[in-house]
Structure 1
């Protein structure tokens, strides 16, 4: 029997990704029924589910990071999508507003296919674990959807007849499915590395309960359950690596990484410049790209650190040097591949805000300067004072020294969850459950690894947690969700982003543009013309 997957989301995918349609339709579900019922065929289907993570996280990260307090575009070289970054022109047809919608539903379709075939494929001892992994991946996709758009249509099985109309399910119902999937996964996944494991499920369960706890339909126990799941994920493990070692390119699968999107040179060998991920391309200034091949990587000049973001770090915080490329050698990647840099010339230096004139003079006198050396005073190291290339401080934690100079792609893994964040999830969950003293203990574990003084109960509130998350997780794909979850998006974006005013968030009928709009392409394809748009965009 040929199974037909036709829905408003799949129709959207068909219109926006011919390659994806060919990949599925050319197999045909008749062929799939013969292939996926074998051990090797079903395993290939599971691998395809993992590959969907590359679609979600490996390309443009604007829905994760733009329009927040930490990142803003540079002037002149490149622009972020204006709707997502500034809100004034945010509407259902805005650039990239459909990015998570399309790619999350691709992942959901793939997961539903795997779950369907799990009952009829050749049964092996790994089947239960594989289904648990896929349910985690489906839960993750729905979690991205519900945070971004609110309630969305729920599809939790393989559709075997044409469907042209869909209703909108409530956000509460979406959370129910997410938690059902994660609890199912918790009882079946393994504990090994490289795949979804028990620690990854616990981490996501903690984050889902934490996020639902802020919602009007959240349960009285959500915050305490989030704290408990986070503590289970921590499992008594400390933050034993230095921040620099945590992000060392040669140490990607380290003890603190809970779950990541995996890449390798072999997996992208057929088209390295297209199939790798783009995480390292963002969060840095333009450095010349192909015209200086051999010296510097390509960067987008978007999602640059705001002045507010850089000032969150203190001089003694090891995460500043661990996150940013404060001084640049030639070639750029030399810092990553050379243990002894003494005697090497420096081409660019980005002054931190705490430098005094005496600090500046001492630094310049202490280094070997290349002939093209440029000293960037602090006033020119953040996003909104840009007049040329190299002007703003680059983020280095995602650097890939194995990538060709000038390339926009990388084979470095994209970390989705790690132990440092689990501690911060626990800190927030304990604070919100009324156990601030315990939450403070969790937060201070993170601060102690960074080499900074412990926070006190006087300091400890949701804004302090957001500041700590900014220092610990800068550039990782959490910030928009953090601000939306805590109800701080309007306040902090308008206060700290130079291009955002509070009035930018004003939508139809006095509603605020916090949820993203349901994409117009999905609405147009839906036969249900009563499908509701989010209120701010009506």
Structure 2
């Protein structure tokens, strides 16, 4: 039977044969040639492509958000190389996460594209091919932003390879755009229903062109194309949901979601913390650990919002209450489970920056039982002792139906969908793209649509620049897995991480050969297993 192999050097994993995958899908020991060429088998293969995104987005968040201006470790330590850069090297913990999982997704996509030509043909095959090309492009986009140029693999491998080349970042971007343009012509139109549609592809094209626009090899029309694709996604649709409604558990398929990775209680089964979405477990302190017996989610006490992140919010911004659990009741999940909060007992209150002494006195007179956390004391730098409930809690990803081990210490797995792209981010992509193309007035209009939904005053033209856009992305997208890529794209990573993250100094970014540690290193295992000794490590790590 045909073997589908990829050397560990490419992805730090091995898919040893088709029947390894079929073992889970088809118990009759049918070979790939027999199963994937049937309608049932090919549909299973396409579904496996979607499932591969769970491995990318549902697990460790370090490569997405650690070591930035918005988050720093609390009581638990993040992988130091990724969170502080001082110990960042090719063997650092977590460096291989996207390298491994993205190449696995790419090989899964290549397998589906191979069998698309061999399987029973029907009118859905072109659409499925488009969906798979979007998924492959997603994996390559994450790779090229993180590591720079990587190997381009666009077909299944029938035998292991031990020597391979590194493609330029410029060529990888061209390949991504080619996949996405082909996907756009093939996928369906209409509202998002869990499958890749035209708006998902257009959003990705907007972001890819926007990102390439900052590169030395940018095309002259990248900013303009980013703006055009973003406007096509927007299509006149306003941001009509409240921020609270946008993140209400169970409302993940709302009208503003452009694309999400689907999770469900049935699909993650009883696989502990291996198959669910772990996003709710970060961005906050311990909430009582195992003692809470299901009354609060488990939190890692890592990636806690920095003081700078909290300072971004002004009075009246609905995203403050929509993002953070500012009032914690005796039973944490009563926030979600009880409609009328007026009779609930407040256990903890986290004050905003605009609270005065008079505000504090009035609040404590109404809630004398509450532990009052004054502003400046509930971020990792301001807290004197990092203990349970000390830092403010990001609530927007909480899942009151966490199923494993109840809702306590073992309930680290969420069945909520992971939102990859949503309409407010599309507006902010458009804002940045129009600024880049030299039409700041239209860019400001796009950004102010986001501020209008948040209930705050429009930004002034004099304040509208790339730093303002990054601040607005911080307010709107806190905890969503964009921040490291935002700072890297705009050339602001070193400046803003060292200015606003107390654990990072500018010198932390100093690498070899006078280079800065902006790109992450190619994992050492990949270098070691490659017999092409001319394959170059990124310069800062040589």
Instruction: Give yes or no for contact 1:7–1:165 (8 Å, CA) kept in 2.
Output: no
Q: For residues 169 and 238 of structure 1, what CA distance do their matches in structure 2 show? A: 41
Per-residue CA deviations over 1:315-345 (Å, capped at 9, x if unaligned) read 1110010000001012111111221111110
Unaligned runs of 5+ in 2: none
- 1:273 Cα offset (Å): 3.9
Within-5 A mapping of 1:256-267? 256-267=256-267
- 1:103 Cα offset (Å): 0.4
- 1:9 Cα offset (Å): 4.3
2:498 to 494, 497, 501: 494
Per-residue CA deviations over 1:387-443 (Å, capped at 9, x if unaligned) read 311100000000101113111110011100000000000000000000000000000
1:405 to 379, 404, 407: 407
1:109 equivalenced with 2:103 (yes/no): no
Per-residue CA deviations over 1:200-228 (Å, capped at 9, x if unaligned) read 00000000000000000001100000000
1:525 to 509, 526, 529: 529
Q: Which residue of 2 aligns with 1:423?
A: 427
CA shift in 2, pair 1:435/1:342, >3 Å? same
Q: Which residue of 2 aligns with 1:391?
A: 390
- 1:21 Cα offset (Å): 9.9
Q: Which residue of 2 aligns with 1:167?
A: 165
- 1:158 Cα offset (Å): 0.9
Q: For residues 517 and 43 of structure 2, what CA distance do their matches in structure 1 show? A: 42
SS in 1 for 2:114: helix
Within-5 A mapping of 1:202-351? 202-351=202-351
Instruction: Give yes or no for contact 1:294–1:331 (8 Å, CA) kept in 2.
Output: no
Q: For residues 11 and 467 of structure 1, what CA distance do their matches in structure 2 show? A: 35
Q: Which residue of 2 aligns with 1:470?
A: 474
Instruction: Give yes or no for contact 2:521–2:538 (8 Å, CA) kept in 1.
Output: yes
Judge which range, 62-71 or 189-198, deviates more: 189-198
2:483 to 479, 495, 503: 479
Judge which range, 222-231 or 245-254, deviates more: 245-254
Q: For residues 219 and 195 of structure 1, what CA distance do their matches in structure 2 show? A: 30
CA shift in 2, pair 1:182/1:400, >3 Å? same
- 1:11 Cα offset (Å): 6.4
Q: For residues 452 and 396 of structure 2, what CA distance do their matches in structure 1 show? A: 20
* TM-score (normalizing by structure 2): 0.95
Q: Which residue of 2 aligns with 1:381?
A: 378
Instruction: Give yes or no for contact 1:348–1:376 (8 Å, CA) kept in 2.
Output: yes
* TM-score (normalizing by structure 1): 0.96
SS in 2 for 1:347: strand
CA shift in 2, pair 1:420/1:20, >3 Å? farther
Instruction: Give yes or no for contact 2:427–2:450 (8 Å, CA) kept in 1.
Output: yes
The alignment's C-alpha RMSD in Å is 1.8
CA shift in 2, pair 1:339/1:387, >3 Å? same
SS in 2 for 1:249: coil
Unaligned runs of 5+ in 1: none
Q: Which residue of 2 aligns with 1:136?
A: 134
Q: For residues 287 and 210 of structure 1, what CA distance do their matches in structure 2 show? A: 39
2:89 to 85, 88, 91: 91
SS in 2 for 1:378: coil
- 1:111 Cα offset (Å): 0.2
SS in 1 for 2:13: helix
Within-5 A mapping of 1:171-210? 171-191=169-189, 192=191, 193-210=193-210
1:536 equivalenced with 2:540 (yes/no): yes
SS in 2 for 1:361: helix
